[in-house]
Amino acid sequence: MSFLLAHPGLVAARAGEHAALVLVSLAIALAIALPLGVLVARRPRAGAVVLGVLNAIYTVPSLALLAILVALFGLGAPTAVVALVAYAQMILVRNIAEGLRGVSPAALDAADGLGFTPRDRLLRVELPLALPAIFGGIRIATVALIGLATVAAWIDAGGLGSIVFEGLHQDDAAKIVAGSVAAMALALAADVLLRFAERASARA
Amino acid sequence: MAEPANGARIELRGVGVTYPGGAAAVRDVDLTIAPGEFAVLLGPSGSGKSTLLRTINRLIEPTAGSVLIDGVDARALDPVELRRGIGYAIQAVGLFAHLTIAGNVGVVPSLLGWDRTRIAARVDALLTLVGLDPDVYRARYPRQLSGGEQQRAGVARALAAQPRVLLMDEPFGAVDAIVRASLQDEIRRIQRELGTTIVFVTHDVDEALRLADRIVVVANGTIAQTGTPEAVLATPANDVVRALVGIDAQSRRFAEARPLLARDRP
């Protein structure tokens, strides 16, 4: 903790990088996961293929995935974003699809019978009713990505992981602890915040 | 409330629905429902009455014959436009849980692009029409309402865009007998007030007798008999109809006799 207390500005800057890495990855991941989630919910057969592929990506060890991606895209934050987006897909797509499948058939029948277009039905009925499940997916994915982003420092993506790696190279336990504790704090804060959002969306 | 005081005419001409795989749910149905008529499709479950109802707003497309609304083939209309002009209320109600009652009742006007003030005024008028105090219910969520209140809100939602036809699929099937009787009275009153053509599906003979201008008995995917409640009760056209109304006729007599028995007790 001594390092953390001695250099709060540096740790905060790294935490900012870390959060930015995760937020950018999440935003891109959501943009891809929403249409994929709709596909999985609507077309069970195509959906099984999509989930199979995403599951396969999910099981690749993070270091191995980063190594492969570095070979393709080089070192740096953009490559880390690709890895984080790929990991988040499995969690997000599964939750979005489950949320959509859980919408009551009566609400869907009513929406169709009242003259909703398919687009209106999705945007005004299905997605809002699936929102608690979607927020649940975002929460789990965020916590997982904050952890994974620590490893991404290994490919020069910055973030709190770089403090941990410095500590490893310099045999400086204080740095390792500082980076780890800060990453944990970030994950916990995100978890609490998104739990709150999840509950608020379920209340409506 | 300013309402167009006329319902639409509905004509089914040789309507058939055959599902992929060959099973026929409905065969060769000819039926004309007059503007402002309260028609009840009565039949046991699996008789095809709901399928028939759902051909009118094209939730199910007939595989044979045609459906005409005021003389216009429904197939010539955009299904979304067609449905926005036809009210739809179902047993499970299907209120949208994330919207308030006002949001639910105003959902079709909102799809139609009405402005906020007009929607708010319409919502209040409709809630009053179905017997829900707007000040009490407007801001509530569906799960805060009883089954009967939800069904009232469902009817209000179905009537929101001043449809000339209202389709109702066992709308009062899930509420208890007392609430059902009061809902039946309300829908009859509303129908007289607005002149909407109503097509109402039920398997409950008493409900059909209570509501219908004309009962259409549906059995095995075809029409077994059509007629006024009195005519269907007095002269069932065949054994199928007799079986359907007969059993219930006995239970009705039993229900009438019971208070007498109770009174005779010392």
Residues B113-133: tens digit of each pLDDT? 999 999 999 999 999 999 999
In this complex, the residue of A114, A124, A131 whose CB is nearest that of residue B83 is A114
pLDDT at res. B251: 58
Chain A: give the shortest CA distance to residue B177, in Å. 22
Residues of chain B with a CB closer than 8 angstroms to some CB in chain A = 57, 59, 80-86, 88, 90, 92-98, 107-108, 111, 141, 154, 157-158, 167
Check if A102 contacts B (Cβ < 8 Å).
no
Q: What's the pLDDT tens digit per position in B142-151?
A: 999 999 999 9
Cα gap B29→B55, rounded to integer Å: 11
pLDDT of residue B259: 47
Kindly state whether residue B147 falls inside one of the protein's structural domains: no
Q: Which two tokens stand for residue B222?
A: 């075809």
CB contacts < 8 Å between A and B, how many? 66
Q: Which of A100, A103, A109, A114 to mutate to test the interface with B (most CBs of B within 10 A)?
A: A114
Whether residue B122 is contained in a domain is answered as: no
A104 in contact with B at a CB cutoff of 8 Å? yes
CA distance linking residue A34 with residue B80, whole number of Å: 25
Domain A2-203 has CATH 3.20.20.70: no
Beta-carbon contacts of B155 under 8 Å, excluding residues fewer than 6 positions away, are B89, B130, B168, B171, B186, B187, B190
Asked whether residue B116 is domain-assigned, the answer is no
* % of chain B exceeding 70 in pLDDT: 91
Task: Please name the member of A112, A114, A129 whose beta carbon is closest to the beta carbon of B97.
Answer: A129
Residue B249 pLDDT: 56
Instruction: Give the β-pairing of B24-33 and B38-42.
Output: unpaired
Task: Report, as an integer, the average pLDDT of B95-122.
Answer: 96
Does residue B250 have a pLDDT over 80? no
SS3 B65: strand
Task: For residue B174, name the pLDDT band (cuts at 50, 70, 90).
Answer: confident
Average pLDDT of each block of 10 consecutive residues along chain A (204 residues)? 77 92 96 96 93 92 90 91 94 96 96 96 96 94 94 89 91 90 94 90 71
User: What local confidence, expressed as pLDDT, does residue B262 receive?
Assistant: 45
In this complex, the residue of A115, A124, A128 whose CB is nearest that of residue B84 is A115
Count of structural domains, chain B: 1
Per CB-CB distance under 8 Å, the chain B contacts of A113 are 57, 59, 83, 88, 90, 167
Q: Which residues contact A37 (CB under 8 A, 6 or more apart)?
A: A92, A93, A94, A95, A96, A97, A99, A100
Confidence check: pLDDT of B4 > 50: no
CB spacing of B59 vs A112 below 8 angstroms: yes
Residue-number span of the structural domain to which B47 is assigned: 10-85+163-264
Element (H, E) at A189: helix A173-203
- Return the pLDDT at A5: 74
Name the minimum distance, in Å, from the CA of B253 to any CA of chain A.
Answer: 36
User: Across chain B, what does the average pLDDT equal?
Assistant: 89
**In this structure, what DSSP letter does residue B100 have?**
-
Question: Are residues B137 and B149 in contact, defined by beta-carbon separation less than 8 angstroms?
Answer: yes
CATH number at residue B27: 3.40.50.300
Cβ separation of B90 and A110 shorter than 8 Å? yes
Instruction: Give the pLDDT mean for B81-106.
Output: 95
Surface-to-core class of residue B263, CB atoms within 10 Å of its CB (0-12 exposed, 13-18 middle, 19+ buried): exposed
Mutation target vs A (from B57, B83, B96; most A CBs, 10 A cutoff): B96
If pLDDT is split at 50, 70 and 90, which confidence band does B58 have? very high
pTM reported for the whole predicted model: 0.85
Within-domain flag for B204: yes
Q: Are B215 and B208 in contact (CB under 8 A)?
A: yes
What are the residue boundaries of the structural domains of chain A, listed by start? 2-203
Q: Is residue B158 part of a domain?
A: no
Give CA–CA dist B226/A26, Å, rounded: 61
**Which H/E stretch holds residue B21?**
none
Is B99 contained in some domain?
Answer: no
Q: Is residue B131 part of a domain?
A: no
Residues 6+ positions from B116 with CB-CB distance below 8 Å: none
* Per-residue model confidence (pLDDT) at position B237: 86
Which of A58-72, B170-184, B236-250 comes out lowest in average pLDDT? B236-250
Q: What's the confidence (pLDDT) of residue B27? A: 93
Within 8 A of A125 by CB-CB distance, chain B residues are: 96
In a domain, B153, yes or no: no
Question: How many Å apart are CA B30 and CA B32, to the nearest integer?
Answer: 7
Whether the pLDDT of residue B6 is over 80: the answer is no
The verdict on a CB contact (< 8 Å) between B107 and A124 is: yes
Cα–Cα distance for residue pair B164/B43, rounded to 1 Å: 25
Grade residue B247 by pLDDT with cuts at 50, 70 and 90.
low
A105 interfaces chain B, CB cutoff of 8 Å: yes
Instruction: Please report which residue ranges of A43-160 form alpha helices under DSSP H.
Output: 44-59, 62-73, 77-101, 105-113, 118-120, 127-152
pLDDT at B266: 42
Distance from the A99 Cα atom to the nearest Cα atom in chain B, whole angstroms: 14
Yes or no, beta carbons of A113 and B59 under 8 Å apart: yes
For A109, the closest of B81, B94, B158 (CB atoms) is B94
